Chains A and B, each alone.
Chain A
Amino acid sequence: MLKSKTFVKKTRGGRVMKIVREHYLRDDIWCGSEACDQCRQESTVLQREACIESNLCSFSHYLVPDTNVVLHQIDVLEDPVICNVVILQTVLQEVRHRSAPVYKRLKDLIHEEERHFYTFTNEHHRETFIEREPGESANDRNDRAIRVAAKWYSEHLAKPDDPKLVLLTNDVANKQKAQESGLLVYKFEEYVKGLIANPELVDRLALSNDDKNDIASSRVLFPEHLPLSRIQAGIKSGSFLQGTFKASRDNYLEAKVFIQKDEEDGTEVLIQGLQHLNRAVHQDVVAVQLLPRSQWAAPSSVMLQDVGSAKDDTTTEEEEQEEDALISCGGDVDRKPTGKIVGIIKRNWRPFCGMLNISQIKESTRHLFTPADRCIPRIRIETRQASTLAGQRIMVAIDGWPKDSRYPNGHFVRTLGVAGEKETEEEVLLLEHDVPHQAFSQAVLSFLPKMPWSIKPEDIVGREDLRHLTVCSVDPPGCTDIDDALHCRELANGNFEVGVHIADVTHFIRPGNALDKEAANRGTTVYLCGKRIDMVPELLSSNLCSLRSNVDRLSFSSIWEMNQKAEVVKTRFTKSVINSKASLTYAEAQMRIDDTGKNDDITKSLRGLNKLAKILKKRRIEKGALTLSSLEVRFHMDSETHDPIELQTKELMETNSMVEEFMLLANISVAQKIYDEFAECALLRKHPAPPPSNYDILLKAAKSKDVLLRTDSAKALADSLEAANVDGFAYFNTLLRILATRCMMQAVYFCSGMDNDFHHYGLASPIYTHFTSPIRRYADIIVHRLLAVAIGADSTYPDLTDKHKQSALCTNLNYRHKMSQYAQRASVAFHTQLFFKSRGVLSEEGFVLFVRKNAIIVLIPKFGLEGTVFFDGKDKSGLNLVFDEEYPSLTVERHTFRIFDRVKVTVSLDDSNIQHQKIRMALTEPVIPGVSVSATAGETQNKKPRLDS
């Protein structure tokens, strides 16, 4: 039977189109129930005995949720208790239309066999299809379609012992109409509350509209968001700007909106104050209206953390003061375009990890939830199991943020485990940094080579056999994913032959299969303290692709002929087979080089490499490559408990830089080669020169010690950094380099066809890419493929030479790379906390790294640890603080703190707030009354503040 669907649509060009689609109805759509004997279906999904233990429905029943129930309560529907659910096509289509993530989750649910979710294509069923009637809105029509389908089901399964149909809806009018037509219908809350033995499910209920009303006070706290049509018109006319909202980590009353425009580079708009922030949440796409120039403000340098209570008695005096402090600050020079949020274009809410603040009022079911990510505001949730959830890391999803509520409303999703425990915290930091860390799926694993694996004759076709060479690898201790190995031998003509051999991962990962897609999505291997989240399955990363010693491995080699002055005479690339003779650590390699008694092949090869590397490094630095510094710490782990037992800053040896030099050389050679061959689609890596303003802080800091730095070029910076020394302050240079590192831009991957600035600032190289770590970086895999095509060792495929696809890939790789770095840092921070937990209070010497308006940031070189010493707060009010921005200094009472000042602090773990355990630093020297604490009990309070030398 044919029906046609007619609707009118406005096109982008402002035209109105009438669209007519033919819609065929059929009578061979079955009900999917085991209990049915009329339908001639081959297999059934819904069970005959469909029992969910419930007070409301003690009989066997199927659930039919409506669209809003699915959209808002997907968290509950995902619970294994809920099964035998009929998902109507109407619902599925509407969900797909309204929310892609929920749609995906619903589809996953439907595919789970043991859940018995059945999709009934009611829109194509002759008896359940309905046409929209005059005067009926689209939603009403869909509601009616759902009712008609539910009715059909209940009439279809009419035998007394057949399962009954239960319609779930939160819409009062819909419920009433359903009841009138004789359907069994419940509100979703009613039904869930009636479930026996699953009281915790109630917590996962998203707050529906009528619930919100009694939570929120009558006071309207925020301006109304504009409707989307107004926003779009405003953006078109230029009165509003569209951008991504980025909340400030340090100050909950401040945020930035990054405006994306097609051609120009993005600009930033500052947003200050709760009203102007207007319920935008980190990462939302928002519409901003600029304020008049007279109201522009400078970003504040105050650190503020939201401490408000769960109630809505907002704008307490305290907050007003905070807002005042915020507005009044900033000189005219630093004023930035400031705006206010007028509407939300797209919410980017995800489930957030964090912890519950138990409400002080007993028996209260409403609690505030503090997300682990400080950019996210606190969320109010309702739960009856607060006592069980206390001290646990949980996940919470935001449901909405009404204009009369101080906090967004949300609901509990799941618990991750006890806070502070290693597994829980690791899970949290992986989730928070969006690191895909699930086990590899069967589909992915199916593309792995079958074990036992060995190199077959056909694998060697087209490969150079380099197994006779004295190849060895040098890596950090405990490294199992060895992706590079080196060799060096003297040639008859006095030149050296140097080879860098990289694991041939692309031999195993073929383009386009599930394994390749998974790796492309993961983008990089993430190294946490004591844990590694692999980009490719372990079989490859730690075995087949790992260039372990004394086994034959496939590799991709870059081989140079160099003269005694380390000048490259000849370069060639080839796929090869190698057999590494030794897997050394940096220390072992260093010992071999230093041990004059040793004279075997490996040692000779190492010495040759070392010698050449030194020349290469010198030449590179002469060209203006920067040697920057950032403190990296290593934990010595207890082998049993995996707890950190010792903290050590990473030591750099000659061999580190030896390996690094050759990797750089390989990367640069390969970059040039693939760019020559594929000018439009070479995947390269660039490091843009930072804008001069980035150096302000560094220059100011250096000036305070009467050191003049030049930042006009990388070379000038490198040279002046080299020369920057202060007598009696040996650590000064390192500190400067640490500061300089923070002025730098992120290096990024890009596609050569989409950009024309290739320069790598830090390495002072005109072109650069990543080639040397295909096991742990996806970019290298693409580079390998490009190179393989360039030398004719492998065939190409369409996506490889599509610059737009490659550009999209680069975006993902850059994002994953950034997130993995954040995750890594977070992991180090967590382990530092664990370390200090067992140490108690330590007293250490440190340096002032930054000066803020109300705090100083102190770096303790010994632990590579940074912490903040606040001069305001609850217990330290009334201090006289004078902040001088020009010459960054902060005068507290009579003592002035400047950058690089030497201070003494006590370090301890502050676990008073278990949500955010942090390292607490307290000042012991200089002594300022009311601020500093005594390091030992005996110390006197009135010791003169020691002014810095």
Chain B
Amino acid sequence: MATVQVSEAEKVYILHGIRDDLRVDGRGCEDYRHMEIETDVVSNTDGSAKVSLGHTAVLVGIKAEIGKPRPMAPNEGYLEFFVDCSANATPEFEGRGGEELGKELSNTLYKVFNNKHSVDLKKLCISKGEHCWVLYVDVLLLQCDGNLYDAMSVAIKAALFSTKIPKVHISNDEEGGKEIELSDDPFDCMRLDVENVPCIVTLCKVGHRHVVDATLQEKACSVASLIISVTHKGTVTCVRKMGGGSLDPESIFEMTETGKRVGKALHVPLMKLLQQEESLGTRQKVGFLG
């Protein structure tokens, strides 16, 4: 993970600021940095989104492919995650440097998103036990400036929102053979309901307080952080502690409460924004030759 060196004096400065609910860049403890969301950015995916949060930038692409349902859930489809830590983000990722982080990130994402409470997995089933849609979620880290989880979760939610899966139907012939038929109309497609898709809120324990959306400097001052995935109703679906330091139960409880509050507040403008963008219609394409 990208890290910055912070001197002792800087550390004190940051700690003191947070204690007084005033962070180095002027935010309060529960404020996010400026966030930009753009959906439908990669034309050869079925759904995509690009999110930048401060200087953190994440690109998510979703490809829908037909696969076989998992034996335990024959009437559900599933999601697969892959996080690519591009060396563009930070030189440390060069070669296989980002592999471990990528693995860790994708495992967490899998836990958070691949369950029937977040995404309607039944809708992804085409024929029970035989065919289902598999959504391959590819996350590309373009730039790391702290708080990767939050940025990724927002991007995934936005990408799922923009995902258009071609409609298929199964035709049965008399011999019982099944054939997948594809709709001829490219506009005839299935959309996913993303209302219950959670967002991740990362809370960093800095001193005695905790902050959301920590920058790299703030992160350097923190010993432990908690990642909480929260739905629009404020339900916590996943909690995970990161970092080497310890957290006492009291502060975990406090942090969870903050996470719920912040997460709930995050969903509303996000959905509004996505719908607004959708209503704008397709953008004029700009090619290589302009």
Contact = CB atoms under 8 A, between A and B. Distances in A.
A142 to B, nearest CB: 13
Contact of B166 (A3, A18, A138, A230): A18
A15 B166 CA distance: 12
Contacts of A20: 43-44
Q: 7 nearest interchain CB pairs? A: A2-B287, A134-B187, A20-B44, A8-B166, A20-B43, A2-B285, A10-B182
Which of under 10, 10 to 19, 20 to 34, or 35 or more describes the interface residues of A?
20 to 34
B287 A24 contact: yes
13 contacts: A2-B285, A2-B288, A6-B186, A15-B66, A16-B65, A16-B182, A18-B45, A18-B166, A136-B185, A137-B184, A230-B173, A233-B173, A237-B177
B181 to A, nearest CB: 7
Contacts of A233: 173, 175, 177, 179
B180 interface: yes
Nearest to B46: A18
Interface string A747-783: 0000000000000000000000000000000000000
A138 B173 contact: no
A229 B179 contact: yes
A15 B64 CA distance: 10
Contacts of A229: 171, 179, 181
B9 interface: no
Interface string A691-705: 000000000000000
A145 to B, nearest CB: 16
A136 B185 CA distance: 7
Interface string B64-77: 11100000000000
B289 interface: yes
Contact of B289 (A15, A24, A236): A24
A840 B63 CA distance: 82
Contacts of A138: 184
A453 interface: no
B220 interface: no
A3 B180 CA distance: 30
A120 to B, nearest CB: 23
A2 B286 contact: yes
Interface in B167-192: 168, 171, 173, 175, 177, 179-187
Interface of B: 43-46, 63-66, 166, 168, 171, 173, 175, 177, 179-187, 285-289
Contacts, number: 66
B180 A14 contact: yes
A180 to B, nearest CB: 24
Interface of A: 2-4, 6-10, 14-16, 18-20, 22, 24, 132-138, 229-230, 233-234, 236-237, 239
B15 to A, nearest CB: 50
B18 to A, nearest CB: 47
A138 B182 CA distance: 14
Nearest to B45: A18
Contacts of A3: 285
A493 B271 CA distance: 106
Nearest to A22: B287
Contact of A2 (B44, B187, B289): B289
Contacts of B44: 18-20
B65 to A, nearest CB: 6
A93 B168 CA distance: 27
A236 B168 CA distance: 20
B186 A8 contact: yes
B80 to A, nearest CB: 15
A381 B143 CA distance: 73
A12 to B, nearest CB: 12
Contacts of B46: 18
A229 B175 CA distance: 13
A16 B66 CA distance: 7
A4 B168 CA distance: 23
Contacts of A8: 166, 182-183, 186
A7 B43 contact: no
Contacts of A137: 184-185
A14 B178 CA distance: 11
Contacts of B173: 230, 233-234, 237
B43 A237 contact: no
Contacts of A237: 173, 175, 177
Nearest to B133: A16
